[in-house]
Amino acid sequence: MLAIKNTAENTAYITEQDYLEGEKTAEFRHEYVDGQIYAMAGTSIRHNDIALNIAFALRAATRGTPCKVNASDVKVRAQRSKAYYYPDVIVGCQRDEADEYYLEKPCLIVEVTSKSTEWKDFTEKLIAYQKLVSLQVYLIVAQDQPQVTLFYRDAEGAWDVARFDSLEQTITLPCPEATLTLADIYEGVDFTQPAEPEA
């Protein structure tokens, strides 16, 4: 995910409607959690490369299907957590027409994490995303080394987790029905160079 300022911009409670209206004309994007908004900072080139690699691979895999792939400018609404987030990649395969600016029924969410956002991706967002009835897969993708953490629903609907850390490994996704190799995810990424810090 993009780096976010740790403190809310406002201490006054902001309604969801006011947030959504304000976000349409805001100079910078913000995420929303239960009445508070958090400004999002820019990403590194490496972060962007990884997110685009995933989006392109999923777009190719979903051609000719009902599934739609969206990148970092589309929000997901985590209604039960009273939150709106901007994942790095979202895939939805159900009809989802709640709003033209956010999705409510994603089946896959990807966050490219960094040291400044890792805690939020693995705790707050993990909890919020797992409450989404439609969600089948949540991928947290490291950018400083080949490492992907896969949270997925098992056959009984319970959440399980697997970790991948070799460029030769392949991740099989249930929704969309596709495979991602770590080599595809990290194509063009030079791990001999330090990752650029994110604000």
CATH number at residue 73: 3.90.1570.10
3-state secondary structure of 123: coil
Looking at mean pLDDT, say which of 8-22, 86-100, 157-171 comes out highest: 157-171
Q: List, in sequence order, the alpha helices (H) in 2-73.
A: 16-25, 45-61
Which pTM was predicted? Answer: 0.90
Q: Quickly state the pLDDT bin for 4 (edges 50, 70, 90).
A: very low
Q: Is residue 141 part of a domain?
A: yes
144 located within any domain? yes
What average pLDDT does the structure give for the chain? 90
Assess if residue 191 is contained within a domain.
no
Q: Provide the pLDDT for residue 9.
A: 55
Residue 3 belongs to some domain of the structure: no
pLDDT tens digits for range 65-87? 999 999 888 999 999 999 999 99
In the chain, how many domains are there? Answer: 1
Instruction: Tell the residue number behind the tokens 């392949």, with chain if given.
Output: 170
Mean pLDDT over 126-148 rounds to 97
User: Is residue 6's pLDDT more than 50?
Assistant: no
Instruction: Give the C-alpha separation, 89 to 169, whole Å.
Output: 20
Sheet arrangement for strand 30-33: 36-39, 30-33, 83-85, 75-78, 102-103
Query: Tokens representing 40?
Result: 């999002």
Token readout for 160 is 């399980």
**Element containing residue 26 per DSSP (H, E):** none
C-alpha pair distances (Å), 104 with each of 53, 146, 168:
24, 30, 34
Residue 14 contacts residue 34 (beta carbons within 8 Å): no
Within a domain: 194: no
- List CB contacts of 41: < 8 A, sequence separation 6 or more: 2, 3, 4, 5, 198, 199
Instruction: For residue 14, tell me if it sits in a domain.
Output: no
Residues of the domain holding 119: 44-185
**Is the pLDDT reported for residue 3 higher than 50?**
no
- The answer to the question of residue 170 being in a domain is yes
Considering the domain boundaries, does residue 190 fall inside one?
Answer: no
